[in-house]
Structure 1
């Protein structure tokens, strides 16, 4: 009897991954992604006839207790988070092969790493605002993402950025069960120094990653790049943050603080960092309003005509003063009016303001009240 050869773990994984998982209520179409502990498929939810993304635990994770726990933890974590900037979850279950899975919305617009916002600061601001809003919500519930990077920011049909992949998220309640002390998890290009050292981290590690992402959005590349993970971790821990181009120098203080080596020197929380981001947006609008080039153009268009008009007015005023200085008598008191001298035998009346009256319209004196005259008597005097 021929003995069957045992498959190696890699061969078993390759064999199982070649089959489409069977999930009740869903029609699996094709595989669209693969991670360290899971594979992602495009499927159709038959009850609603909508496309969905189905994340299925890799067969190799069945023999890796930590990977299995992380997958289960990710499903539980996402199920707790209901935020417009976080990819939600539809359903959790097991395939017919016994593999864990959960169903997510299918976001066909790609991830942030496929976009170029180096010439669109307003769009970069919108993306960072959305991420900080999502992180503020998660941190308030004791959840640290620990893997904020461009590939974990997806876009929906309305082109809104959403944070996804909470596979290595740290929860205060059950973190000791999911991670091992001294184990660095995350993506090296975005990882905070304390996270690279395997230390216990809080929300400020996520804010460091947002600072790295902001630098990448503005320049098109990561601030630190190295050939191996150790050298990259040392650069994050020791090297100063690279300088931005001159036209984007107004971002430098924001990124310097976000990427401070010590968590104590960073923003305290996502809300404070969001406030600093809004100040950049306000300063950018103010700078646009007082752009020196625009101001110079306005002055060039208006200054010469205004200067010519002012010079002509000044010359006219000087000419009038010169003519007035040559007269023997002062000018009449009253603008555009002729003041007549008072009659010689009457004292001058008090001023009645700038009202002109001609002789014809002078007010008549008030009538006097006199006693009626007695008619002469017609009777003759007595003789």
Structure 2
């Protein structure tokens, strides 16, 4: 598989969080500094206005430069306060804020450095003029960093929100043909395409939003998924984040969500066996899927199941995000005020999918459904009840244990 080599996702996330934290502290300090200068200048202006005449000297400087400084400092305060939330902001707004900091800071710094009257005015009013000059330089620098960061990462070239139009497909059209949109979610858009070089049909997943949080989530998905090679896991052909983030995956024509449930016991067992096999492989590598549901279990033309969409997966100590949460299949621990995703979470969700395949309903079975009223059915019911125990410690201790019980049922067929 061809792909860009990335450092571990949790390492990237930790560095990003540290960098964002330092940036926020700096922005807050600068905003407070400008607020102090703004208040002192404003109080001086009011006091001078009440004092009556506007003679020569300081009075002229106040008349000439005071409004400019007040406006520029107010803008800088606003820009730095808004930048505290840039992780959640659209890229174009981040770039606007960056330009705002650069322009406002440059104008204020120019007034101070190239006008003796304005410098004299500020020194009279604000004792820390040198600190203010340093602050303005830092504002200009941080604004430039914000702009360069977005452009360098390709984020400024925003993916069009109208993804139903083929012109919204963000990758070069000389690489693919017969491109069409086949699915959309809260975070990503999924396209069918055929590679021009070899004619192989593929699925291309791209993020719909271009904010930093989505980018981090997409990068983590790439880092996890690219190393998972298993018969029952959808294969990644290539992936990258520059200039446009994307994952190219094998095309599979169907999914469990398209089946008319309930299905025959043999078919349900075949799907669940494949799913459990994929989870045994992933769990052995410390990867938890966290979002097992019918739409994420694809089917080959022969009906072989393959687990896809690792966007909510976690690996090792990586943080779990509840973005794109699937409430119907969520385990109790995912619904808590402080949500968690554990290995036992995948077991719960597997049980929920199994129950839906057998009963047609995504719910904990009552045991009165016809499929459970036989000897074999009662054994399956006990498996489902153990998968979907409210207390995670009462579920199967591992997917291997679940697989062992499933194999006993298959042997009895």
Q: If the TM-score is normalised by the length of the shorter chain, which range does it land in?
A: 0.5 to 0.7
Q: State the 1:21 CA deviation.
A: 2.4
Give aligned pairs, total: 250
> Is 1:21 matched up with 2:170?
yes
Q: State the 1:117 CA deviation.
A: 5.1
- 1:251-270 CA-partner distances (Å, limit 9, x unpaired): 21111111001111000111
Q: 1:195 aligns with which of 334, 351, 361?
A: 334
Q: Where does residue 271 of structure 1 map in the other structure?
A: 400
> Is 1:90 matched up with 2:237?
yes
> Is 1:145 matched up with 2:145?
no
Q: Where does residue 100 of structure 1 map in the other structure?
A: 245
Alpha carbons of 1:8 and 1:262: their partners in 2 closer, same or farther (altered >3 Å)? Answer: same
Q: State the 1:184 CA deviation.
A: 7.4
> Is 1:45 matched up with 2:213?
no
Q: Where does residue 168 of structure 1 map in the other structure?
A: 312
- In structure 1, runs of 5+ residues without a counterpart are 1-6, 225-240, 286-383
TM-align CA RMSD: 2.5
The structure with the largest helix share of the pair is: 2
Alpha carbons of 1:151 and 1:244: their partners in 2 closer, same or farther (altered >3 Å)? Answer: farther
Q: Where does residue 242 of structure 1 map in the other structure?
A: 366
1:250-289 counterparts in 2 under 5 A?
250=378, 251-283=380-412, 285=413
* Alignment partners' CA distance in 2, 1:242 and 1:37: 35
Q: State the 1:45 CA deviation.
A: 1.1
Q: 2:205 aligns with which of 55, 59, 74?
A: 55
Q: Where does residue 303 of structure 1 map in the other structure?
A: none
- 1:266-313 CA-partner distances (Å, limit 9, x unpaired): 001111001111222234x2xxxxxxxxxxxxxxxxxxxxxxxxxxxx
Equivalent pair of 1:118/1:219 in contact (CA under 8 Å): yes
Equivalent pair of 2:189/2:206 in contact (CA under 8 Å): yes
Alpha carbons of 1:184 and 1:106: their partners in 2 closer, same or farther (altered >3 Å)? Answer: closer
* Alignment partners' CA distance in 2, 1:107 and 1:276: 29
Equivalent pair of 1:41/1:55 in contact (CA under 8 Å): yes
Q: Where does residue 29 of structure 2 map in the other structure?
A: none
Alpha carbons of 1:15 and 1:147: their partners in 2 closer, same or farther (altered >3 Å)? Answer: closer
Q: State the 1:40 CA deviation.
A: 1.0
Flag the structure with larger Rg. 1
Alpha carbons of 1:218 and 1:244: their partners in 2 closer, same or farther (altered >3 Å)? Answer: farther
Q: State the 1:121 CA deviation.
A: 0.3
- 1:104-153 CA-partner distances (Å, limit 9, x unpaired): 11111x21011135251011111000000000110111111000001111
Q: TM-score, normalised by structure 1?
A: 0.60
Equivalent pair of 2:192/2:251 in contact (CA under 8 Å): yes
Structure number with higher relative contact order (C-alpha < 8 Å, ≥ 6 residues apart): 2
Equivalent pair of 1:53/1:105 in contact (CA under 8 Å): yes
* Alignment partners' CA distance in 1, 2:292 and 2:93: 34
Three-state SS of the structure 1 residue aligned to 2:220 is helix
Three-state SS of the structure 2 residue aligned to 1:158 is coil
Q: Where does residue 379 of structure 1 map in the other structure?
A: none
